[in-house]
Amino acid sequence: MTAGGKRVTAYAKSTVVSTKPVRPGKTYPLSELDHAMERHSLHMVFYYRSGSKLERARLKESMSELLWYFPATTGRMNWDEGGKRWVVKCNDAGVRVVDARAEATVDEWIATATAAEERELVHWEPMGNDSSIWSTFYVQMTEFKDKGFAIGLSCTHMHSDATCATLLIKAWGDCHRRAAIANPPFFHPPALIPRPNANPSSPLLSLKSSTATTTSAAVSIFSAATFRFPTAAVKSLLADLPPDSTPFDALAALFWLSISRASSTSLSSLTLVTDFRKRMYAPLPHGFYGNAAHFSSVELDPAAGWTSVANSIGRHVAGLKEEEYWSAIEWLAARRVGGAGAFKMYGPELTCLKLDHVMAYAAEMEEGVGPAQVSCWIGGAEGNGIITVLPASAAAEEKEARTVEVVLPAEVAEKVCKDEEILRHGPTVIFSGKI
């Protein structure tokens, strides 16, 4: 499992199982939104500086304790009796764990690693011919020279969106500290069962399903980069916008305009991916297990300028209604009942993920000490690329700080990384380069 010249060496693979067995016959059916994510995977990296409680054997021990609360993560995928729906057979098969080491300290790595090197901190194996033996979750524990760790989580997007995956790591931290799980998992896919007698419509998903396959081969080389904006930079941006504007509005507009300038083709819209757990009439718990991500499109005009674009994004997000979430779910259900297969939800159009609500920096393996950096990216995306807006710190004084990650066609990414409008706000650029 080693490779010459690389700074990360993976040297062992094992399986971690729950400390307590699941009752025989327990299953977990996937929701319509879960089924829609079949062609994507989710990858996250949580960086922890060295600490007295960061020790590989103890991390595996606390993971075993964690998995008892998350039986679906240790199960295996099967079709139901009718062969029409994915169902997780909660059989305690366990989570695959990869042990690795890196030739750098945590801070050296964050300062010098390329985007391609960061992806060496996660392990992923796509589903093979037999789904019943395929591990849907992989965890890579990479120890740095200073005894810090990177926890790399990979999973099928059918099981989890970024909110769900973040709360899984946060719950692991709670178990590791011998604390109660603050946001326990809520396993209830019926919460998103389509309404009866619905007449669904989703122009965006309809267009996406019809165009994704025709553009998948258009771009083969992508680059990535991560921009960290401190609170002062974000506040400076917000000073030029209406009082109810958010950091997401400002940064999504800033990067959309930059990508528009760098692209050879004109961009007139942006697909937004937003979490609707807390936007339902009857809100879902933070710990709702699975996918609760809504895809919507906002029309934008580059000539209107940054303020106008930011205002348009803000109004669009604030104006999303519960009826739109249900209509998308019901459209996906009707399409799948009609026998159509899954399509790529991310792409081909430029997509922006609003993830600055996730509790990533509250994932504490030691009391009061959160991650030094958190990264997130989507596998199986295509087309014009992805912008991801994440929090950057749990500190109260840095609550408005944000991390923006971009995965773009290589020639576009090169221009965005040099964009004067972005750089004049003083972000720190890390993890850049081809992937």
**pLDDT single digits (tens) 352-365:** 999 999 999 999 99
Residue 2: per-residue pLDDT? 42
Among candidate residues 175, 182, 190, 134, the one with its CA nearest the CA of residue 20: 175
Q: Say whether domain 8-192 belongs to CATH 3.30.559.10.
A: yes
Q: Give the pLDDT of residue 211.
A: 77
pLDDT at 126 over 70: yes
Inform me whether the pLDDT recorded for 103 exceeds 80.
yes
- Of all residues in the chain, the percent with pLDDT exceeding 70 is 97
Given this model, what pLDDT does residue 265 score? 84
Overall average pLDDT of the 422-429 stretch: 97
Query: Is it true that 8-192 and 203-434 share their CATH fold?
Result: yes
Of the listed ranges 20-24, 147-151, 368-372, the least confidently predicted one is: 20-24
| Pair of tokens at residue 238 | 């917000």
Sign of CA dihedral 360, 364, 369, 375: negative
**CB burial class (10 A; 0-12, 13-18, 19+) of residue 428?**
middle
Tell me the per-residue pLDDT of 167-188, one tens digit each, with 9 for 90 and over: 999 999 999 999 999 999 999 9
Per the prediction, the chain carries an average pLDDT of 94
- Confidence tier at 415 by pLDDT (50, 70, 90): very high
Q: Which structure tokens are listed for 173?
A: 């931290």
Per-residue model confidence (pLDDT) at position 3: 47
CB 172 within 8 A of CB 62: yes
Query: Would you place residue 218 in the very low, low, confident or very high pLDDT band (cuts 50, 70, 90)?
Result: low
Taking residues 247-251, what's their average pLDDT? 98
Closest CA to 296 of 258, 324, 254, 266: 324
**Half-sphere CA count of 184, side-chain side, radius 13 A:** 9
The mean pLDDT value for 375-383 works out to 95
Mean pLDDT of 262-285: 95
* Helix (H), strand (E) at residue 209: helix 203-215
Instruction: Please tell me the distance from the alpha carbon of residue 435 to that of residue 432, in angstroms, as a whole number.
Output: 9
Q: Is the pLDDT of residue 241 over 60?
A: yes
pTM: 0.96
What is the CATH number that goes with domain 203-434?
A: 3.30.559.10
pLDDT of residue 83: 78
Q: What does the alpha-carbon distance between residue 90 and residue 73 come to, in Å, rounded to a whole number? A: 8
- Break the chain into its structural domains and give their ranges: 8-192, 203-434
